Amino acid sequence: MFAKKTIDDDTWEDLEDALLKADFGPDVTDALVTELRGKVAKYRTTDPADLQRMLRETIEERLAKLDSTLKLTERPAIVLVVGVNGVGKTTTIGKFAKFLRNYDRTVLVGAADTFRAAAVEQLATWADRAGVGIVRPQMPGQDPAAVAFQTIERAKAEGTEIVIIDTAGRLQTKGGLMDELGKIRRVVEKQAPISEVLLVLDATTGQNGLAQAEAFIEHAGVTGLVLTKLDGSAKGGFVLAVQEKTGIPIKLVGQGEGINDLTGFTPHVFAQKLVG
Amino acid sequence: MATFGTLSDRLAETFKNLRTKGKLSAADVDGTVREIRRALLDADVALEVVKDFTATVRERALGDEVNKALNPAQQVVQIVNEELIRILGGSQRRLEFAKKPPTVIMLAGLQGAGKTTLAGKLAKWLAKDGHTPLLVASDLQRPNAVTQLQVVGEQAGVPVFAPEPGNGVGNPVKVAKDGVAWAKQKQHDVVIVDTAGRLGVDAELMKQASDIRKAIDPDEVLFVIDAMIGQDAVATAKAFQDGVDFTGVVLSKLDGDARGGAALSVASITGRPIIFASTGEGLDDFEPFHPDRMASRILDLGDILTLIEQAQSAFDEDEARAVAEKFATDSFTLDDFLKQMQQLRNMGSIKKMMGMLPGAGAMKQQLENFDEREIVRTEAIIQSMTKAERVNPKLLNGSRRLRIAKGSGMSVTDVNQLVSRFEQAAKMMKTVAKGGMPQVPGMGPIPGGGFGRGKAQQAKKKGSKSGNPAKRAAENAAIATGVKPGVAAPSGSGFGLGGAPAPSEEDLANFQKLLGKG
């Protein structure tokens, strides 16, 4: 679309299509196209290359509005990881633990996903790979809040710097399960302040991502987003809408199954990847 | 999504000024098509599918085939609904079993789509049907996927073939092959092979999946896809079709609030039918897929067919007629009121039922606030009355009311409220029974008021896939209002053209009031 000589009606249509295909959703797409039309008119350009640059800058600018630094200054710094089923919470925790180990921080993970079959074992495998400790539930189906409690207790006793707590995946429509998250949060907060609540979002998710974010923010007090599975063909454009509507920044990006495939979020790189 | 309201509402808005006209002009249609396009994009239908789709709808809406009995908005919704059903595969398809057992079923999909959980659900479902399934753990990639399958197998009461520990160890192709051989030997008639989740772009893993397919020659290859997936559904589905060539699709996580546009995208792009839908975390939350119902969900028209079916099984037609009789003759008593309420409870969770109503997406909050125990409390109050009091509520003086309040553990105010609600309902129903329109504040005009007919139509309609939204709306209204006050009351005119009456929040509040929230 940017290879043509001048900007014409087709260019705008192609641009709209491209944005929609990247899961930006009809609202954000309309807003972006309108903004770009304005800019193109203002600078009186007809060069598609200019449009491409403006698009990249516009997206980058919008994404960069929020501060994407992780705040892990408390000791222990407690990180709660939440999300719907199958977005890659456990994998993200494994990678995140390794990420922190690379900076020589001591890490303890808590396997508070006591619901899904073999979730604890899955986390244990990741903890092993990352070389961090794990607190397991004492019995299957134990109250996840209890596991979280024990994890923090142990972290305090051992002087561990960062605690990451895995939770069971839950769809945002399940009221009871969302309340359970609230309980985990309350139990943890009694012992120590929570530094970050990370909501894991799957890049392949469509417009439902916004509904997920809103529900989890309400029940779990999300402070940051993690976008996973960006190594596939999905662009994850919906995060722009999520970030703008909720005011919660994207903090981490997962792009592969390897233990080192987790990086901090940089708007520039993300926009570059989206637009080319 | 909820901010926009339902497609039918939006279309009704677009056509507000056209009510008196019977025909659609090209300009009207273009405006409408844009609305549809937006609604579909909001529901995560793939862009190219949306384009094809809107082109077809436009053509049909401008054609001569439009139904003269419907208003323009309804016509368009009807066309859209029919087209959706057509793309989604028309009727249901069942699993195909091999003539010579074992039937081999292979599962494939992205990571986190829900394959392993689905394997357990499918196994349990088949076992319930008298089959003897075997689960084969060919996902040796994800940490502890094998363990997960073993746990799931145990929960489902189905044996699991897992010779390799997983976590990257072992050859999945060999495991799959051995699994099928093992099933033959042990005379299992169905083999379900769980494979590793993979990205569409991962050539190596895709090759592995296709190798597994070649090795075991499955009768069905089911592609498991998350109902929440967005535009990437196209790329993923194509990659899997090229890579493993699936024979059917399973839509997972349909219990969320995603509108499931992916279903439409996948069905339209690959031409493969959707066979099952997975609707929860329990092993029993699994059902055959109904294309017509999915169409309504994508458009947020509500799952009215399911609702009607449930209503049909819960309501006893003779009883309904008897009640109608009572209304007409003014002998409706608190006893009947109680019976009605118990019938209502038979329909299952009211929250679930109301969730199926069109436009309910916007009323989630309200639904959450609805307390089903209110019905139990109302029951308690009525059951604390004497026979005579139930027949003739006029008997209820202050001291009787106090006794009832004490007997039911409620306050006198609650009793008073119930009695006044009952009187209102009885009065309203009497009006209906006499052929008039009930004046229920907030309920809006009830199209056609064809209560008696609504019921008859439902009976006839069972199984028919009429995409006629007006008819459905009328039936819906019949249920929404008829739920409490009885269904069959003879009344006039054919179903009206009053527009699709999606219940507003006010309606819901009213419904709650009737049910006892006060």
Give Cβ neighbours of residue A116 (< 8 Å, ≥ 6 apart).
Answer: A85, A168, A169, B148
B79-94 pLDDT, tens digit each: 777 888 888 776 667 8
Question: Are A232 and B142 in contact (CB < 8 Å)?
Answer: no
B116 is in an annotated binding site: yes
Q: What is the ipTM of this complex?
A: 0.85
Low pLDDT (below 50) residues in chain B = 1-5, 303-305, 359, 361-362, 437-505, 507-518
Please indicate if the annotation marks B254 as binding a ligand: yes
Helix axes A25-43, A48-63, angle to 10 degrees: 130
Q: Tell me the CATH number at B256.
A: 3.40.50.300
CB atoms closer than 10 angstroms to residue B63: 10
Residue B115 known to bind ligand? yes
Q: Which of A86, A125, A172 sits opposite B143 (nearest CB)?
A: A125
The stretches in chain A having pLDDT less than 70 are none
Chain B residues whose CB is inside 8 A of the A234 CB are 230-232, 235-236
Which pLDDT score is estimated for B440?
A: 43
Question: Are B241 and B326 in a shared domain?
Answer: no
Nearest by CB: B112 against A25, A86, A173: A86
B494 within a domain of the structure (yes/no): yes
Chain B residues whose beta carbon lies within 8 Å of the beta carbon of residue A33: none
Going from the C-alpha of B433 to that of each of A18, B321, B401, B426, the distances in angstroms are 57, 11, 30, 10
Q: What architecture does CATH give domain A77-275?
A: 3-Layer(aba) Sandwich (3.40)
Q: Are B111 and A204 a contacting pair at CB < 8 A? A: no
Residues B209 and B259 in one domain: yes
**Residue A257: both structure tokens together:** 């199954």
Establish whether B113 is an annotated binding residue.
yes
Residue B366 is predicted with a pLDDT of 56
For strands B133-138 and B274-278, give the pairing: unpaired
CA nearest B355 in A: which residue?
Answer: A173
In a domain, B251, yes or no: yes
d(CA B273, CA A150) in angstroms, rounded, equals: 48
All structural domains of chain A with their residue ranges = 9-63, 77-275
* Of residues B116, B232, B257, nearest to A208 (C-beta): B257
State the smallest CA–CA distance between residue A75 and chain B in angstroms: 30
For B44, which of A124, A171, A207 is closest by C-beta distance? A207
Which residue range is the domain that position B454 belongs to? 304-371+425-517
Q: Do B228 and A205 touch (CB under 8 A)?
A: yes
pTM, 2 dp: 0.71
Measured in angstroms, the CA of B299 and the nearest CA of chain A are apart by 15
- Residue B95 placed within a domain: no
Considering the domain architecture, whether residues B165 and B268 belong to the same structural domain is answered as yes
Same domain flag for B268 and B181: yes
**B187 & B260 share domain:** yes
Contact B228 A206 (CB under 8 A): yes
Q: Measured between beta carbons, which residues in chain A are less than 8 angstroms from residue B46?
A: 21
Rounded alpha-carbon distances, angstroms, from residue A180 to A123, A183, A191, B368: 20, 5, 17, 16
> Which secondary-structure segment (H or E) carries B278?
strand B274-278
Give contacts of B235 with chain A, Cβ < 8 Å: 232-234
pLDDT of A159:
93
- A126 and B143 within 8 Å at the Cβ level: the answer is yes
Whether residue B230 and residue A205 make contact (CB cut-off 8 A), yes or no, is: yes
B316 and B348 inside one domain: yes
Q: Are residues B350 and B436 in the same domain?
A: yes
Contact A86 B41 (CB under 8 A): no
Q: Which residues of B touch A171 (CB under 8 A)?
A: 253, 255-256
CA distance B433 to chain A (A): 40
Give the gap in angstroms from C-alpha B39 to the nearest C-alpha of chain A: 9
Q: Which of A86, A173, A257 sits opposite B226 (nearest CB)?
A: A86
- Are residues A162 and A100 in contact, defined by beta-carbon separation less than 8 angstroms? yes
Would you say B255 is a known binding-site residue?
Answer: yes
Note whether residue B430 is domain-resident. yes
When divided into structural domains, chain B yields a total of: 3
- How far is the alpha carbon of A72 from chain B, nearest alpha carbon, in Å? 28
Summarize pLDDT for B432-486 with one digit per residue, the tens. 666 554 444 444 343 433 333 333 333 333 333 444 444 444 444 444 444 333 3
Q: Find the closest chain B residue to A115 by CA distance.
A: B281
B317/B282 same-domain check? no
Domain end (from B289, B313, B347):
B289
Q: How does DSSP assign chain A, residue by residue?
A: --SSSS--HHHHHHHHHHHHHTT-HHHHHHHHHHHHHHHHHHHT---HHHHHHHHHHHHHHHHTTS-------SSSEEEEEE-STTS-HHHHHHHHHHHHHHTT--EEEEEE--SSTTHHHHHHHHHHHHT-EEE--SSTT--HHHHHHHHHHHHHHHT-SEEEEEE----TT-HHHHHHHHHHHHHHHHHS-EEEEEEEEETTB-THHHHHHHHHHHHH---EEEEE-TTSS---THHHHHHHHH-PPEEEEE-SSSTT-EEE--HHHHHHHHH-
Q: What is the dihedral sign for C-alpha B135, B136, B142, B146? A: positive
B123 and B30 share one domain: no
pLDDT, one tens digit per residue, over A132-175 is: 999 999 988 899 999 999 999 999 999 999 999 999 999 888 88
Beta bridge partners of residue B225, listed in sequence order: B251
Q: Which of B87, B115, B149 is the last residue of a domain?
A: B87
Using the 3D structure, point to which of B289, B312, B331 is the last residue of a domain: B289
Degrees, nearest 5: CA angle B275-B277-B283:
120
CA B57 to chain centre: 24
Cβ neighbourhood burial of B407 (10 Å; 0-12, 13-18, 19+): middle
Instruction: Report d(CA B299, CA B27) in Å as an integer.
Output: 22
A69 to chain B, minimum CA–CA distance in Å?
27
Q: Are residues B117 and B239 in the same domain?
A: yes
User: Is residue B378 included in any domain, yes or no?
Assistant: no
B463: left (phi over 0), alpha (psi -120 to 50) or beta: left
- Tens digit of pLDDT for each residue in B5-32? 455 566 666 656 555 555 667 777 787 7
Q: Assess contact for B158 and A116: CB atoms under 8 A.
A: no
H-only helix segments in B330-468: 334-346, 350-355, 364-369, 373-383, 387-391, 398-408, 412-433, 451-461
Q: What number does CATH give the domain A9-63? A: 1.20.120
Question: Would residue B262 count as lying in a domain?
Answer: yes
Residues B133 and B13 in one domain: no
Contacts of B242 (CB under 8 A, 6+ apart): none
Which tokens in the block code for residue B131? 């089959």
Dihedral angle over CA of B68, B74, B75, B81, nearest 10: -140
In a domain, B362, yes or no: yes
Residue of A nearest to B143 (CA): A122
**B112/A118 Cβ within 8 A:** no
Same domain? For B273 and B334 the reply is no
The per-residue pLDDT for B22 is 57
B111 is in an annotated binding site: yes
Residues B297-326: b if buried by 16+ CB within 10 A, e if exposed = bbbbbbbbbebbebbeebbeeebbbebbeb
Contacts of B79 (CB under 8 A, 6+ apart): B57, B60, B61, B66
Looking up residue B35, the CATH number of its domain turns out to be 1.20.120.140
Q: Classify each residue of B148-172 as buried b or exposed e, where b means 16 or more C-beta atoms within 10 Å of its C-beta.
A: bbbbbbeebebbbbbebebbeebeb
CB contact under 8 A, A88 and B114: no
| Residue B450: per-residue pLDDT | 35
pLDDT of residue B400: 92
User: For residue B512, is it within any domain?
Assistant: yes
